[in-house]
Structure 1
Amino acid sequence: MKNTVARISFFVCIACMVSIMLYSCSLPIFRQQPTSTDLNRADALFEEGSWKEAITEYQSYLSRHPVNPQARLKLGRSLMEEDRIEEALEQFQKILADGDRNHPEEVYFRAGRACHQLGQFSEAEHYYRQFAERSSMVDLQLVNYYMKQIGAARTAGNDAANSLVENAGHQVNSVHDEFHPVYSPNIGHRFYFTVHDSEHTLSIRSTPEVGASMKYAEVTQGIWKTEGTLDDEFDHSPELRLLDFSENGQHVFFTRPVTDEERTTLVGAFESGPDEPAVRTWDHPVFQSRLGDRDLFTIHDSAYLFSSQRLEGYGGYDLYVTFKSSGNWMVQNLGPQINSPADEIAPFLSVDGRQLYFSSNSDKSIGGYDVFFATFDDEMETWGTPQNMLPPVNSGRNDVDFRLSGDGQEALLSSDRTGGHGGFDIYHVYFDQPRTAQLDWSQPRYFYQVSAFRSFALQESNAVPSDDKPVFELPVLHFGERPLVITPQIKGELDKILEFGRLYPHVGLLVHVFTEKKANTNFGLYRPVLILKNAIDYLQEHGLDMSRIEMRLHGHQYPRSSFNSSGQQRTASLSRNDRRVEFEFTNTKNLPVRFVVAGEEHMRDDGSSSPYQNWKSKIEEVYFRIRLADAEQLLKRSDFVQNEDLMLAVDGSEDHFTYYSGIFQKMEAAQKSLRVYIAQGYMDARIVAFIGPSRIPTDLITSEMIEAYPELKKYIIYQK
């Protein structure tokens, strides 16, 4: 019995001792210390680019092994990848502060990059120099590139006294990327932008895999606030990217991926017609997203800026302009003054057509992409040296997508500078003085027109004889009883008018309207204005100022039908329908080209005679008309509709009407007719002199003109 009790006591003691030992092993002091396996896991995460997880593992490892410069260097690099630049710099400085001469040489370079991006340029220069002196594997070309940027930053100074840059705020920006802001072309205090929903920050040279959506922000109670998507009709895809709007703001250009490597350009209509899809592919003959073209900027609907990596460039992305000339799309590289061996992207052209804003990562940048501007010199026909916009507009990071507001007082840009909400944010720029390039118009309107315009705008003494000038035909449009529809064919004809109107901004445009039936009433004479309203609106919406346009209504007086020597009727017009619109430019004397109406040259050569040809011959040089009345509304009498050579002139805004009658080569005949009209009650009637299509102001009649046209002397006497 005693032996049994003793054995039981022995086993109980053994069990208690084992339990105490197991419990003791569970205490922290007895736990096994971490091994190199923890560091291997951190390194594996680092190599695969899992920066957040790598940061956690490195921090855990370094809390137990603080003296490991390689691990701390990778922690710093991971923090930089996550845009935690200040924390990264702290890690690099810890390595350099431990006094160990065996720390990695790379740490100097990384510390320099962190200081550079934080705008600490002197410190960045110090670290770059230390790296260049100590490293045997230094990439001298890369270090030299960064050193040139540091030099540019220290030389440039800043413009903080004249401009302010502030983040658009948390109601616009997020931890994702917000970029490419574009002011609304039609709605004040609104801009559109793209937001990238990916977990990773957006590379400035983004790849097609990036998901994106297009949104808009408005000023609400004094602050910017995201209000919604651009348009529900075509903003369902998460991978769209905004480019720009059409000239009138009724269409928007954007891209979407079609493969992992290619994107396609789309155009969306905010108000599509019954036969027009809301979204369609935009097949431009020059700009091709699928070939890598990007950053489309609309100058107008027949001219665009963009950036591209085309083989004929100067290296990297270059800036190009594409525009229509004589119906064909041309493309021009903006030249070595603008483009460098580095990348030039995100162009913006000012209202005056002479100041170009863009971003470049050349060695003139103070870090990453900077915003530059350059001014076009008309005399030299070239761009001036690009100027850095300076801090605070630029930073040590990437500053892109710069766009001025319409009044030049403000601007928008996107930047991944430190202190934002994450990735790229949208920033608002305020200027002390407006950028005057947004307030003025130039002649010619745009920089790419200067060369042609200067060669065309010859002095009168060197003017080319009219018969020696190349001839350009202006289109004839035919219309019916219903409002004119802007078909692709008619759009093409109107685009020809717009092209010449933009090239020669000093010329006026006359729109001659003819009908085939006699106008028995005042409204019958005016009615074609209503039918042709869409065409006039199209010209206005695409950049032709209404102050340059005048419609002249001639009724049925000048059909193109003619009769040959045997009395048989023949038609010299392009169509048997005499209901037509003809275009004519005024103030074209010094241009080296001559404009004619389509089919006009043929009529001159075929030996026929028509009322139209007789009319054209009577108004070739100086002649006189009777101005019956000026009014702000249609005249409330219709007896004049029977008058010979009647003309109703309507200005482009359609709120001023001038009635004319008669075409007289002699003042005596004009004065005789004037007395008749006064007797009929047209008490304000008076004689007006014309030369070709244009009225002759009395104060512009010169002695040379009187010598050439003696009737003008009688006209001056009449005026007195």
Structure 2
Amino acid sequence: MANIYRRLITLASLVTFSCPLFSQQDSVSLSEQYYAQGMEIFDYEHRKVASELFMLAVQANPKNAKAQFMAGRSIMLTVRKELSLQYFKQAYQLDPKIDPDILYYLGQAYHYSEKFDSAIVLYDRYNRLLARSLDYEKSKKINEVNRKIFECHNAKIMVAQPVDVKIAHLSNSINSEWPDYAPTINADETFMVFTTRRPEENMNNRLAQDNEYYEEIFFTKKVDGEWIPARNLSGPLNNSYHNASINLSPDGKEMLLYHDSNGGDILASFLKPDGTWTNPEEILEINTEYIENSASISADGKQLFFTSNRPGGYGGTDIYVSVKDAKGRWGSPRNLGRSVNTEMDEDGVYVSVSGKHLYFSSNGHAGMGDLDIYRSAYNPEKDMWEKPINMGYPINSVENDIYIVLTRNEDFAYISSVRPEGVGEQDVYKIDISNGKEPVYTQPDFADAVLAMEDQMPLFGGKAAGEVKTETKP
């Protein structure tokens, strides 16, 4: 149905906005029709198509506050969240009571646009409304908004002190106009596999429930220092459902995959002498009825790090490790503990070839917004992973930053990210981190930051949390 709407959108926009005979009354009526169609599609979770319909409704009648608001909401659910700002601003100016949460949406839009002072002011105004509410669910949201304020303060510090890295967009041999993400490489950096949702060479011609093509695993090889055009990794690894690669062993002979069956499981496939891959098999020792969604094998093949939301953890998805015994069986998983795991989510785990560093994404440590990438160092004396450091800006951003792999000496990293220079939604990038300097930020934990907000203690760069100036009015 979404494809039919997309064709109708193209036709309607050509007819409507090239015809000088449309009256103001016609435009108002047409705007309402587009709005109604957008709401129908939005309820089916086809957010990108819905956003196009809402934007057409705005074009037909810019004074349609409902359409302005829903254009902002639907765009906020896509990868270019910062583009929602203009629509939320217009909706608020047309009708400040358009939605009970309009201040929160505006705060988010400023946050994703990296206008942090304005975001803080709007989050704070929204929190004051929540504090006066007798609704229990709304009062519970205060902690969520406090975290957003915390992230804005962190982001201001990080953007002001960027780390010395060079980020390069990989060529169109790898990236496409479709989502390309979760790159993983062998230690010699000669073979890469990644997940894509492009239609070319896709084994499933249908669209998934989110109106995107199904995930497929593609590969590329480096020849004379350049990555050759990526191809579908045909055979048993790709089928007519979602197929996602999550890790390649340093020697390139074992691949871990994620399948969304049984809640979400991790499977393993091995490279055969003829260059093909074995049928993926479940790693029964670590899979449960709960979600297991990312994993990484150590270079010696004896440790398997993975993430899971099984009971007994500290929050959403936690990082666990399983050690292989003398008989080649994976042992009982052990949670890495509170120094690494938080009350929220850890994901995209990767252990370095040296085994000394663990890289992962989290939205529970001190970050800029959504998921940020962190690095934890192993302490052999205490036999534990230390409190992680944020990899810093511009490696991290205000949006989701997840899936990072590194070369053998950890001088270079590959990530997938949404950035202005990209050609699609998510693209694959290479980062030069060879200068060896550690990002240093004086950031409090979230709990301390909340106390600072309440007590006006100077924990953020000598300025009390809440002392901000507004960059612009909504």
State the TM-score, normalized to the length of structure 1: 0.50
1:226 and 2:229 matched: yes
Bigger proportion of residues as strand: 1
Cα distance between partner residues in 2 of 1:244 and 1:30 = 57
Q: 2:119 aligns with which of 114, 121, 124?
A: 124
Q: Which 5+ residue runs of structure 2 have no aligned equivalent?
A: 1-19, 201-208, 439-474
Per the alignment, in what secondary structure is the counterpart of residue 152 of structure 1? helix
Cα distance between partner residues in 2 of 1:225 and 1:402 = 21
Query: Which amino acid is 2:296 matched to?
Result: F
Residue 193 (structure 1) shift: 1.1
- Contact in 2 for aligned 1:105/1:131 (Cα 8 Å): no
Aligned length: 398
Per the alignment, in what secondary structure is the counterpart of residue 340 of structure 1? coil
Q: 2:106 corresponds to which residue? A: 111
Larger Rg: 1
Change (3 A) 1:419 1:383: same
Change (3 A) 1:38 1:401: closer
Cα distance between partner residues in 2 of 1:313 and 1:387 = 21
Mapping of 1:548-697 within 5 angstroms?
A: none
1:196 and 2:201 matched: no
1:319 and 2:314 matched: no
Cα distance between partner residues in 2 of 1:221 and 1:215 = 20
Per the alignment, in what secondary structure is the counterpart of residue 342 of structure 1? coil
Q: 2:42 aligns with which of 42, 46, 49?
A: 46
Change (3 A) 1:131 1:220: farther
Q: 2:13 corresponds to which residue? A: none
Q: 2:90 aligns with which of 72, 91, 94?
A: 94
- Contact in 1 for aligned 2:346/2:363 (Cα 8 Å): yes
Mapping of 1:158-197 within 5 angstroms?
A: 160=162, 162-185=164-187, 187-197=188-198
Cα distance between partner residues in 1 of 2:160 and 2:192 = 27
Residue 112 (structure 1) shift: 1.9
Change (3 A) 1:118 1:27: closer
- Contact in 2 for aligned 1:247/1:301 (Cα 8 Å): no
Cα distance between partner residues in 2 of 1:220 and 1:160 = 33
Query: Which amino acid is 2:412 matched to?
Result: E
Q: 1:240 aligns with which of 239, 243, 263?
A: 243
Residue 392 (structure 1) shift: 0.8
- Contact in 1 for aligned 2:267/2:281 (Cα 8 Å): yes
Cα distance between partner residues in 1 of 2:78 and 2:417 = 15
Mapping of 1:390-429 within 5 angstroms?
A: 390-417=392-419, 419-429=421-431
Per the alignment, in what secondary structure is the counterpart of residue 230 of structure 2? strand
Change (3 A) 1:167 1:128: farther
Per the alignment, in what secondary structure is the counterpart of residue 359 of structure 1? strand
- Contact in 2 for aligned 1:215/1:226 (Cα 8 Å): no
Cα distance between partner residues in 2 of 1:97 and 1:183 = 49
Per the alignment, in what secondary structure is the counterpart of residue 279 of structure 1? coil
CA deviations over 1:145-175 (Å, ceiling 9, x no partner): 2112222223344664511223224332223
Per the alignment, in what secondary structure is the counterpart of residue 368 of structure 2? coil
- Contact in 1 for aligned 2:265/2:282 (Cα 8 Å): no
Q: 2:459 corresponds to which residue? A: none
Change (3 A) 1:178 1:418: same
Per the alignment, in what secondary structure is the counterpart of residue 265 of structure 1? strand
Q: 1:306 corresponds to which residue? A: 306
Name which of structure 1's ranges 151-160 and 161-170 shifts more when overlaid on structure 2: 151-160
Per the alignment, in what secondary structure is the counterpart of residue 333 of structure 2? strand
Cα distance between partner residues in 2 of 1:407 and 1:52 = 40
Residue 31 (structure 1) shift: 8.0
Per the alignment, in what secondary structure is the counterpart of residue 393 of structure 1? coil
Mapping of 1:33-72 within 5 angstroms?
A: 34-35=28-29, 36-72=32-68
Residue 63 (structure 1) shift: 3.8
| Identity across matched positions, percent | 22
- Contact in 2 for aligned 1:214/1:230 (Cα 8 Å): yes
1:293 and 2:287 matched: no
Change (3 A) 1:37 1:90: closer
Q: 1:279 corresponds to which residue? A: 278
Cα distance between partner residues in 2 of 1:401 and 1:56 = 30
Query: Which amino acid is 1:119 matched to?
Result: E
Per the alignment, in what secondary structure is the counterpart of residue 226 of structure 1? coil
- Contact in 1 for aligned 2:186/2:249 (Cα 8 Å): no
CA deviations over 1:15-41 (Å, ceiling 9, x no partner): xxxxxxxxxxx9756986653555433
Q: 1:433 corresponds to which residue? A: 435
Cα distance between partner residues in 2 of 1:60 and 1:321 = 50
Cα distance between partner residues in 2 of 1:96 and 1:30 = 23
Residue 321 (structure 1) shift: 0.9
Cα distance between partner residues in 2 of 1:332 and 1:424 = 33
Q: 1:268 corresponds to which residue? A: 270
Mapping of 1:14-25 within 5 angstroms?
A: none
Change (3 A) 1:76 1:268: same
Cα distance between partner residues in 2 of 1:317 and 1:216 = 28
Q: 1:698 corresponds to which residue? A: none
Residue 432 (structure 1) shift: 4.0
Q: Which 5+ residue runs of structure 1 have no aligned equivalent?
A: 1-25, 200-205, 437-720
Q: 1:629 corresponds to which residue? A: none
Name which of structure 1's ranges 337-346 and 223-232 shifts more when overlaid on structure 2: 223-232
Cα distance between partner residues in 2 of 1:30 and 1:403 = 55
Cα distance between partner residues in 2 of 1:182 and 1:420 = 19
Q: 1:353 corresponds to which residue? A: 355
- Contact in 1 for aligned 2:317/2:346 (Cα 8 Å): yes
Q: 2:11 corresponds to which residue? A: none
1:251 and 2:250 matched: no
Residue 236 (structure 1) shift: 5.6
Change (3 A) 1:163 1:284: same
CA deviations over 1:654-695 (Å, ceiling 9, x no partner): xxxxxxxxxxxxxxxxxxxxxxxxxxxxxxxxxxxxxxxxxx
State the TM-score, normalized to the length of structure 2: 0.73
Change (3 A) 1:97 1:225: farther
Cα distance between partner residues in 2 of 1:68 and 1:384 = 53
Q: 1:216 aligns with which of 219, 226, 238?
A: 219
Residue 265 (structure 1) shift: 1.7
Change (3 A) 1:267 1:50: closer
Query: Which amino acid is 2:349 matched to?
Result: P
Per the alignment, in what secondary structure is the counterpart of residue 176 of structure 2? coil
CA deviations over 1:537-590 (Å, ceiling 9, x no partner): xxxxxxxxxxxxxxxxxxxxxxxxxxxxxxxxxxxxxxxxxxxxxxxxxxxxxx
Query: Which amino acid is 2:245 matched to?
Result: L
Cα distance between partner residues in 1 of 2:277 and 2:21 = 70
CA deviations over 1:123-153 (Å, ceiling 9, x no partner): 3222222322346456212211211222222
- Contact in 1 for aligned 2:342/2:365 (Cα 8 Å): no
Cα distance between partner residues in 2 of 1:181 and 1:311 = 29
